[in-house]
Amino acid sequence: MKIVVDAMGGDYAPENVIAGVVDAVKEFPVTVTLVGIESRIKEQLARYSYPKEQMEIVHASEVVGMEDQPTEVIRKKKDCSITVGINLLKRPGYDAFISAGNTGACVAAATFYLRMIEGVDRPGIGLVIPQVNGFSFLVDVGANTEPKPEHLYQYAQMASVYAQTVMARPEPSVGLVNIGEEEGKGSVFEKQTYQILQEKMPRFIGNVEPNEMFANKADCIVCTGFVGNVIIKTSEGLMEAAGQVLKREIFKDPFAMFGTLFLKGALRKVKKHVDYSEYGGAPLLGVNGIVMISHGRSSPKAIKNAIRAAMREVEHNIIDKLKAAVIA
Amino acid sequence: MKIVVDAMGGDYAPENVIAGVVDAVKEFPVTVTLVGIESRIKEQLARYSYPKEQMEIVHASEVVGMEDQPTEVIRKKKDCSITVGINLLKRPGYDAFISAGNTGACVAAATFYLRMIEGVDRPGIGLVIPQVNGFSFLVDVGANTEPKPEHLYQYAQMASVYAQTVMARPEPSVGLVNIGEEEGKGSVFEKQTYQILQEKMPRFIGNVEPNEMFANKADCIVCTGFVGNVIIKTSEGLMEAAGQVLKREIFKDPFAMFGTLFLKGALRKVKKHVDYSEYGGAPLLGVNGIVMISHGRSSPKAIKNAIRAAMREVEHNIIDKLKAAVIA
C-alpha cells in the first residue's frame, strides 16, 4: 500500500509532517510518497533512521500558503505539492493522499483532478468526533459552506457507509444539526433538509441540537460546512480557553497545584478522549479517490494517525462502497 | 423600580423562578411583578418569607409550553403569562420583563406588542460570554435565524451601546463570526456583512473564527441567530460531556479522587467563570422595551442575576441610548 503525503502542508511543515511519516513507516506496513521540495524533504529525513524502502520522494517546486485562494492554486500553482500529490492518485499503485495544508485548495484540487463519484454533487469533509461514550461522524465540517438540502442527503448516505465500514456500526443512525428538537425548527434550509432526510434516509432520527452534539444522539450527524466548521472550531476554542482558565486558577492555589499531581492520569485520559488528533485526518467524501485532510496544526502523532486512518479506508475499499451506496 | 417576571416560564417553573425572585427582592431595592396562574404563584410564595411590599402578582390564565408555535401564541393565547407580562411594559411604572420560557414566543410577543425601535428591523438576542480574561457580548444567539447583512450592522450598533453602557467599555471593538480570518472568507452572507461593517462600523476588527470566540478578540461579536445558537449550545454540550468524561475517569482512579479534594476550589472558580447563569439573562435588543430572556433550565440564582441585569439596564436607561445610537 502506498500513501501520498503533502510534505509542505501545515503550520509546522515539513518538520512535523516528516516526523509523523517516519513514525508511520516504522510502525505500519506502508510505503509513503512524500511530495514537496526535494531538498527540504531530504534535509528533514536525514535526521531520522527508518526503513528506506518504505519511503519515496516526488519533487514539487511550489508551495501553497494558507492565504492562497483555491481557484488561484488550480489555475497557477500547477507544480505545488497538493496538485502533484492529488494527481499521483490517478496513476496505478498510489492509494490515498493526505495533507495538513490549505483545506480549500485540497478540496478544489481533489474535485477538479479526481472528479466526483457518480451521484454526489459536492464533496464534504467528515470528522470523527468524540461522544461521552465512543464516537460519532460529523459531515460537513468545512468543504461546502452553502450546500443545497440534497447535498446533505448525499452526505448522510456517505456518512452511513463510512460508519458501517470504517467505524463498524452495522445500522448507523443519522441526525441533522438544528437549533431545535422538533420538526419545523431552524431556517428554511434545515426545514427542507429535514423533509428529504425523513423521506429518503432510513434510520433518520431527526434533529440534533448542538448541546447534544457529544451526547451519543446519532452515529452520523450532517450539517452545512459553515455550521460544522463553527462546531469544531468552537469546541477547540472552548477547550483551550477552559484549559487556560483552569491553569491560571491552579497556579493561584498551592493546594490545587498539589492536587493536580494525583489527577494527571485522569486529565490525560480526558484530553486523549476529546483530542481529535487521536483519530487522524478527516476524510474528504465524494471525490473519486481517498483524500484525507489533517488539521493545520497537526502534531507528528496526528500525521501518523492520519496515515493509519487512510490505510483503513484503503483496506476497506471505501470508494467502491461509497459508489455502490450512493447509486443504489 | 418594577421588574415583571414570567412566573410560568422555564423547565422548573414556577418553583425556580419564584425562589430566585424571593432572593432578588430580599437583596435588591426592586419590586417584582409575578405574572402567571395566581393560585400556583401564591402556593410557592407561601414557602418563603420576604418583604411583601416588594412583590405583586398579576394573574394570567394561560401557560405557554416549549412546543408552542410563536405565531399561535400571539393569535390564540392572549391571556398567557408572556403576553400579559410584555403588555404590562406599555403601562407606566413597569420597567422590564424577564422570562425563562419559550424564547420564540417571547421574541414574537415583544416584537408584536412593543414594536421595534426606529432604525432596527429585527430583534436580536445578546449574550455576555466568558473570555479567558473578562467577557464579550455576542449578538444574535437565536432570535433571527435568517437575517440580512444590514441586520447584523444594526446588531453591531446595539451591541456597542450595550458594551459601552452596561459593560463599561468606552470604545468597544466589533468582530464578525466567520470560518476564516481573512476578508472574502465564508458564504455570501458573511462576505456582504463584512463589507457593510467595514464601511460603516467604527472599530470593526474583521472576522473572529470560532476557535478564538473566547480569546478576547473583540468586545462585541455579531452573527446570525442560527450560528450564535450553535455556538452557545455547542459550548454547553461540550462542557457537559467533558465534565461527564472527567468524572468517569476520576471514579476509576482512587489517586485522582483524592486529588480532586484539593482542586475543588479551582474547579469551582472555572465553573463560575464559564457559567452563563452568573451573568443573568440575555437582553432582547431592538424592541421598544427592556426584555430579558433566561435559559429554560435557569436556577434560582440565574433568575436572581437576570433581575439584577435588568435593573442595570433600567438604571442606564438603555432603550433611550439604543434609540439615539441607531438613529445617529
Chain B residue closest to A186 (CA)? B145
Query: In the prediction, which pLDDT does B256 show?
Result: 82
In whole angstroms, what separates CA B209 from the centre of its chain? 22
Of B249, B177, B241, nearest in space to A129 by CA: B241
Query: In the prediction, which pLDDT does A20 show?
Result: 97
CB nearest B253 (choices: A177, A186, A265): A265
Q: What digits encode the pLDDT tens for the residues B186-203?
A: 899 999 999 999 999 999
CB atoms closer than 10 angstroms to residue B170: 6
Domain that holds residue A247: 125-277
Q: Indicate if the pLDDT at residue B57 is higher than 90.
A: yes
> What percent of chain B has a predicted confidence (pLDDT) above 90?
81
Alpha helices (H) in chain B, listed in sequence order:
15-27, 38-45, 70-76, 81-88, 103-114, 149-165, 188-200, 225-251, 254-274, 300-315, 318-327
Query: In the prediction, which pLDDT does A254 show?
Result: 83
CB nearest A214 (choices: B211, B212, B241): B241
Which residues does chain B have within 8 Å of residue A67's beta carbon, measured at their own beta carbons? Answer: 182
Which residues does chain A have within 8 Å of residue B212's beta carbon, measured at their own beta carbons? Answer: 237
Query: In the prediction, which pLDDT does B259 show?
Result: 82
Give which of B136, B145, B148, B230 to mutate to test A binding, by max A Cβ within 10 Å.
B230
Dist. CA B116–CA B119, nearest whole Å = 8
Note whether B256 and B297 are same-domain residues. Answer: no
Query: Is A177's Cβ below 8 Å from some Cβ in B?
Result: yes
Average pLDDT of chain B is 94
- Mean pLDDT confidence for B248-264: 83
Query: In the prediction, which pLDDT does A86 show?
Result: 98
Compute CA distances A173 → A223, A232, A286, A320, whole Å. 15, 21, 20, 22
- Mean pLDDT confidence for B264-280: 75
Q: Could B238 and A273 be called an inter-chain contact, meaning their C-beta atoms sit closer than 8 Å? A: no
Average the pLDDT over each of A162-176, B141-155, B248-262, B279-293 and give the range with the smallest value.
B248-262
DSSP A295: -
Are the beta carbons of B17 and B7 closer than 8 angstroms?
A: yes
Q: Strand, helix or coil at B49? A: coil
Torsion sign across C-alpha atoms A73, A79, A85, A90: positive
Note whether B127 and B192 are same-domain residues. Answer: yes
Residue B20 exposed, middle or buried by CB count within 10 Å (0-12, 13-18, 19+):
buried
Give which of B69, B245, B258, B271 to mutate to test A binding, by max A Cβ within 10 Å.
B245
Note whether B102 and B23 are same-domain residues. Answer: yes
Model confidence at B159, pLDDT cuts 50, 70, 90, reads very high
Q: What digits encode the pLDDT tens for the residues B20-43?
A: 999 999 999 999 999 999 999 999
Note whether A221 and A325 are same-domain residues. Answer: no
Dist. CA B162–CA B167, nearest whole Å = 7
- β-sheet bridge partners, residue A127: A138
Which residues does chain A have within 8 Å of residue B182's beta carbon, measured at their own beta carbons? Answer: 67
- β-sheet bridge partners, residue B287: B116
Shortest Cα–Cα distance, A191 to chain B (Å): 12
Q: Could B238 and A233 be called an inter-chain contact, meaning their C-beta atoms sit closer than 8 Å? A: no
Instruction: Report DSSP letters for A232-248, one per residue.
Output: HHHHHHHHHHHHHHHHH
Note whether B65 and B129 are same-domain residues. Answer: no
Q: Determine the residue type at B122.
A: R
Element (H, E) at B282: strand B282-285
Note whether A248 and A309 are same-domain residues. Answer: no
Note whether B264 and B157 are same-domain residues. Answer: yes
Are the beta carbons of B113 and B83 closer than 8 angstroms?
A: yes
Query: In the prediction, which pLDDT does B37 show?
Result: 98
Shortest Cα–Cα distance, A93 to chain B (Å): 36
Q: Could A145 and B187 be called an inter-chain contact, meaning their C-beta atoms sit closer than 8 Å? A: yes
Of A161, A105, A139, nearest in space to A225 by CA: A139
Compute CA distances A137 → A71, A279, B132, B232, whole Å. 29, 11, 30, 21
- Tally of CA atoms within 13 A in the half-sphere of A235 that contains its CB: 24
Query: In the prediction, which pLDDT does A290 show?
Result: 98
Query: In the prediction, which pLDDT does A319 show?
Result: 97
Query: In the prediction, which pLDDT does A43 show?
Result: 97
Query: Is A241's Cβ below 8 Å from some Cβ in B?
Result: yes
Query: In the prediction, which pLDDT does B328 show?
Result: 66
Note whether B103 and B185 are same-domain residues. Answer: no
Residue B325, domain member (yes or no): no
| pTM across the whole model | 0.94
Q: Determine the residue type at A270.
A: V
Query: Is A269's Cβ below 8 Å from some Cβ in B?
Result: yes
Q: Could B246 and A179 be called an inter-chain contact, meaning their C-beta atoms sit closer than 8 Å? A: no
Q: What digits encode the pLDDT tens for the residues A196-216?
A: 999 999 999 999 999 999 999
Which residues does chain A have within 8 Å of residue B70's beta carbon, measured at their own beta carbons? Answer: none
Query: In the prediction, which pLDDT does A188 show?
Result: 94
Q: Determine the residue type at B199.
A: E
Are the beta carbons of A223 and A155 closer than 8 angstroms?
A: no
Residue B212, domain member (yes or no): yes
Query: In the prediction, which pLDDT does A266 show?
Result: 82
Q: What digits encode the pLDDT tens for the residues A218-271?
A: 999 999 999 999 999 999 999 889 888 888 888 888 888 888 888 888 888 877
Placement of cell 440534497 in the chain: A150
As for how many domains chain A has, the answer is 2
Instruction: Report DSSP letters for A32-101, one per residue.
Output: EEEEE-HHHHHHHHTT----GGGEEEEE--B---TTS-HHHHHHH-TTBHHHHHHHHTTSTT--EEEE-S
Residue B297, domain member (yes or no): yes
Shortest Cα–Cα distance, A255 to chain B (Å): 5
Q: Could A131 and B241 be called an inter-chain contact, meaning their C-beta atoms sit closer than 8 Å? A: yes
Note whether B111 and B234 are same-domain residues. Answer: no
Note whether B89 and B125 are same-domain residues. Answer: no
| A251 contacts: CB under 8 Å, gap ≥ 6 | A257
pLDDT < 70 regions, chain A? 276-279, 328
Q: Strand, helix or coil at B289? A: coil
Query: In the prediction, which pLDDT does B277 show?
Result: 61
Are the beta carbons of B12 and B320 closer than 8 angstroms?
A: no
Q: Indicate if the pLDDT at residue B321 is higher than 90.
A: yes
Query: In the prediction, which pLDDT does A265 show?
Result: 82
Residue B328, domain member (yes or no): no
CB nearest A234 (choices: B210, B242, B265): B210
Dist. CA A321–CA A164, nearest whole Å = 10
Which residues does chain A have within 8 Å of residue B270's beta carbon, measured at their own beta carbons? Answer: 242, 245-246, 249
Q: Could B212 and A237 be called an inter-chain contact, meaning their C-beta atoms sit closer than 8 Å? A: yes
Backbone angles phi and psi of A282, in degrees to 5: -110, 120
Dist. CA A221–CA A326, nearest whole Å = 17
Query: In the prediction, which pLDDT does A277 show?
Result: 61
Are the beta carbons of A18 and A45 closer than 8 angstroms?
A: yes
Q: Could A179 and B211 be called an inter-chain contact, meaning their C-beta atoms sit closer than 8 Å? A: no
Q: Could A235 and B233 be called an inter-chain contact, meaning their C-beta atoms sit closer than 8 Å? A: no
Query: In the prediction, which pLDDT does B254 show?
Result: 83
Q: Could B259 and A255 be called an inter-chain contact, meaning their C-beta atoms sit closer than 8 Å? A: no
Q: Could B241 and A188 be called an inter-chain contact, meaning their C-beta atoms sit closer than 8 Å? A: no
Note whether B113 and B170 are same-domain residues. Answer: no
Report the interhelical angle of B149-165 vs B318-327 (nearest 10°): 130
Kind of pairing between the strands at A96-99 and A2-6: parallel
- Mean pLDDT confidence for B78-93: 97
- Mean pLDDT confidence for B291-320: 94
Q: Strand, helix or coil at B33? A: strand
Kind of pairing between the strands at A124-130 and A282-285: antiparallel
Query: In the prediction, which pLDDT does B272 show?
Result: 76
Find the CATH number of the domain harbouring A137.
3.40.718.10
Note whether A200 and A325 are same-domain residues. Answer: no
Of B18, B143, B126, nearest in space to B81 by CA: B18
Q: Could B210 and A226 be called an inter-chain contact, meaning their C-beta atoms sit closer than 8 Å? A: no
Q: What digits encode the pLDDT tens for the residues B95-141?
A: 999 999 999 999 999 999 999 999 999 999 999 999 999 899 999 99
Residue A296 exposed, middle or buried by CB count within 10 Å (0-12, 13-18, 19+):
middle
